[in-house]
C-alpha cells in the first residue's frame, strides 16, 4: 500500500473509530448520572464526584470535538490528527479508572464499589469491540482504565487485592481478544483493498478491449462495405454466369459479415457506454410497419406469413427511433429465422398504462425452459438452430431495451413458438437527453 493510500485508509479507520466511540461516550454519561442518582457518593464526597463528572464531561467533549474538527484542520497531517484523536479517547478511561480506584479507597467493601467494578468491566469490554482496529489505542485504553485500580490493589485498600486480581485476568483476556479482532479486521481490509485494485484493473482492461473492438469493427466494416459494393458492380456489369455466381456468394458472405461487425460494434459501444441515445417522439405503429416491410423478402423465402395486430389509434412514445427499430428488427428477424415453413410471425402493439408494449409472436421452433434465461446472454445459442447466427442479437436487444428503461420478457414452448414482449415507458427514460 502506498504511503498516501495508507494515510487515507487510516484516516478512514479513525473516522470509523470516532463513530464507534459515540455510543461509549453516552454510556459514560449514563453511568456517571446513575452513580450520582443511585449512590450517596455525591453527598458524601461532593468534591470527588463533581471533579470526576467535570473531568469526564471534558474528556467526552474532546472525544466529540476532535473527530469533527481535526480531520479538516489537519488534513495534510493525518499523523498529528490521529495522535490527538488518541489523546481525546484516552481521557475517558483515565478518569473512570481513577473514579473506581477512589471509590474503592473511600468505600472499601461497599456495594457501590462492586457496582462500579461491574460497570468498569463492561466499559473495558465495550472498548475492545470499539477500538480493536487500533491496537495501540486499545492497549493504552485498557492500561489507563485499570492502572489506578491496580495501584490501589497493590496498596491493599478495601477489596483492592481481589479487584486487582480480577482486573489483571480480565485485561489479559481483553488484550488477547483485541489482538485477534485486529488481525481479522486488517486482513479483511487488505483483501478488500486487493479486490478493489483488481476490479479497477479489470474495468480498465475491459474498457481498452471495448475501445479496441469499436475501432477494429469500424475499420473492418468499411472494408467489407467495399467488398459488397464490388459484388454489386459485378452483378451490374458482368454477364459471365460463373462470375455472377461467385459475386452472389461474395455478396451473401459480405452481408453476413457486415451484420456481425455491426453487432460487435454496437456491443463495444454499449460496453463503453458510448451509444448516444436520442429522446424523440416515436410512432411505434409506423416503425413496426417499416420493419415488417423490410422483412417481407426473408419471410417469403422461408414461407412465413407476416401479420400485424394493433387496436389502438396510435402507439406513441419517447425514445430513440433508430434503436427501437433495431430492437424490432432483431426480434422479427429471429422470429422468421427460427420458424418452420408455412409458419407465421405476428407483431402486436398496445398501450398498457404508462407503457407501450410490443409483442413479437411466432409459430417457430420455440425454446425449452432450460435455455430460456440464457438466450439473452452474449454468444448464447440454444444449439439446435436450423440457421447460422452469432448469439449477439438478443444480448444487444436486451441492452437497448434497458437503456430505454424498459423490460424484455419471453414466453416460449419447445416446438410451439415463442413470444418476445418488450415494455417501454411512454414518457421515455429519465436519463435520455432531449
Interacting residue ranges for ligand ADP, rule: CB under 6 A: 334-335, 338, 362, 364-367, 375, 380-382, 385, 389-395, 418
Nearer to ligand ADP, 89 or 357 (CB): 357
Nearer to ligand ADP, 111 or 379 (CB): 379
Return d(Cα 99, Cα 148) in angstroms, integer: 9
| CA 322 distance to own-chain centroid | 31
Distances (CA, A) of 64 to 25, 134, 137, 283, 296: 9, 18, 17, 61, 75
CB of 394 to ligand ADP, least distance (A): 3
With cell 448464447, the residue in question is 380
Return d(Cα 426, Cα 405) in angstroms, integer: 10
State the cell numbers at 423: 415494455
State the cell numbers at 345: 410471425
CB of 386 to ligand ADP, least distance (A): 10
CB of 333 to ligand ADP, least distance (A): 8
Nearer to ligand ADP, 238 or 384 (CB): 384
Is 309 exposed, middle or buried (CB count within 10 Å of its CB: 0-12, 13-18, 19+)? exposed
Nearer to ligand ADP, 325 or 381 (CB): 381
User: Residue 399 in 3-state DSSP?
Assistant: helix
CB of 326 to ligand ADP, least distance (A): 12
CB of 361 to ligand ADP, least distance (A): 9
CB of 382 to ligand ADP, least distance (A): 3
CB of 239 to ligand ADP, least distance (A): 36
Rg, C-alpha atoms of the chain: 37
Nearer to ligand ADP, 13 or 382 (CB): 382
Strand 316-319 versus strand 280-283 pairing type: antiparallel
Nearer to ligand ADP, 142 or 412 (CB): 412
Nearer to ligand ADP, 364 or 425 (CB): 364
Closest by CA to 10, choosing from 156, 147, 135, is 135
11 Cβ partners below 8 Å, 6+ apart? 71, 78, 81, 82
Helices 111-131 and 135-155 cross at an angle (nearest 10°) of 160
Closest by CA to 327, choosing from 395, 255, 427, is 395
Helix (H) or strand (E) segment spanning residue 308 = strand 305-310
Nearer to ligand ADP, 175 or 414 (CB): 414
Return d(Cα 177, Cα 182) in angstroms, integer: 9
Nearer to ligand ADP, 42 or 366 (CB): 366
Amino acid at each position: 500500500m502506498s504511503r498516501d493510500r495508507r494515510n487515507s485508509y487510516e484516516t478512514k479507520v479513525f473516522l470509523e473509530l470516532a463513530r464507534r466511540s459515540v455510543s461509549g461516550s453516552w454510556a459514560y454519561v449514563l453511568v456517571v448520572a446513575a452513580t450520582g442518582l443511585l449512590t450517596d457518593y455525591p453527598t458524601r464526597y461532593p468534591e470527588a464526584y463533581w471533579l470526576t463528572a467535570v473531568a469526564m464531561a471534558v474528556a467526552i467533549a474532546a472525544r466529540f470535538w476532535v473527530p469533527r474538527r481535526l480531520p479538516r484542520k489537519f488534513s495534510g497531517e493525518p499523523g498529528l490528527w490521529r495522535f490527538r484523536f488518541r489523546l481525546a479517547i484516552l481521557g475517558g478511561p483515565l478518569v473512570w479508572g481513577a473514579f473506581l480506584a477512589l471509590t474503592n479507597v473511600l468505600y472499601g467493601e461497599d456495594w457501590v464499589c462492586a457496582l462500579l467494578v461491574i460497570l468498569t468491566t463492561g466499559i473495558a469490554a465495550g472498548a475492545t469491540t470499539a477500538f480493536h482496529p487500533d491496537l495501540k489505542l486499545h492497549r493504552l485504553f485498557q492500561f489507563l482504565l485499570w492502572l489506578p485500580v491496580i495501584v490501589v490493589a497493590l496498596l491493599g485498600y478495601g477489596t483492592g487485592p481481589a479487584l486487582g486480581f480480577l482486573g489483571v485476568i480480565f485485561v489479559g483476556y481483553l488484550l488477547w481478544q483485541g489482538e485477534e479482532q485486529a488481525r481479522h479486521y486488517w486482513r479483511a481490509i487488505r483483501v478488500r483493498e486487493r479486490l478493489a485494485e483488481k476490479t479497477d484493473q479489470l474495468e480498465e482492461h475491459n474498457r481498452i478491449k471495448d475501445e479496441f473492438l469499436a475501432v477494429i469493427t469500424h475499420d473492418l466494416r468499411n472494408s467489407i462495405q467495399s467488398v459488397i459494393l464490388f459484388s454489386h458492380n459485378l452483378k451490374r456489369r458482368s454477364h459471365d454466369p460463373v462470375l455472377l455466381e461467385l459475386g452472389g456468394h461474395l455478396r451473401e458472405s459480405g452481408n453476413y459479415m457486415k451484420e456481425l461487425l455491426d453487432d460487435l460494434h454496437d456491443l463495444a459501444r454499449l460496453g463503453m457506454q458510448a451509444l448516444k441515445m436520442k429522446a424523440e417522439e416515436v410512432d411505434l405503429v409506423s416503425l413496426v410497419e417499416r420493419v415488417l416491410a423490410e422483412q417481407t423478402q426473408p419471410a417469403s423465402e422461408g414461407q412465413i406469413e407476416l401479420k400485424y395486430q394493433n387496436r389502438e389509434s396510435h402507439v406513441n412514445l419517447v425514445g430513440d427511433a433508430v434503436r427501437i427499430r433495431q430492437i424490432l428488427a432483431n426480434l422479427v428477424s429471429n422470429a422468421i429465422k427460427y420458424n418452420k415453413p408455412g409458419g407465421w410471425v405476428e407483431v402486436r402493439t398496445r398501450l398498457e398504462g404508462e407503457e407501450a408494449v410490443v409483442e413479437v409472436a411466432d409459430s417457430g421452433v420455440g425454446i425449452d425452459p432450460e435455455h430460456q434465461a440464457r438466450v439473452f446472454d452474449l454468444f448464447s445459442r440454444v444449439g439446435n438452430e436450423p440457421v447460422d447466427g452469432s448469439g449477439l442479437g438478443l444480448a444487444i436487444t436486451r441492452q437497448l431495451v434497458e437503456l430505454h428503461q424498459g423490460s424484455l420478457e419471453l414466453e416460449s414452448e419447445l416446438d410451439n413458438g415463442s413470444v418476445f414482449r418488450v415494455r417501454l415507458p411512454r414518457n421515455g427514460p429519465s436519463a435520455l437527453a432531449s
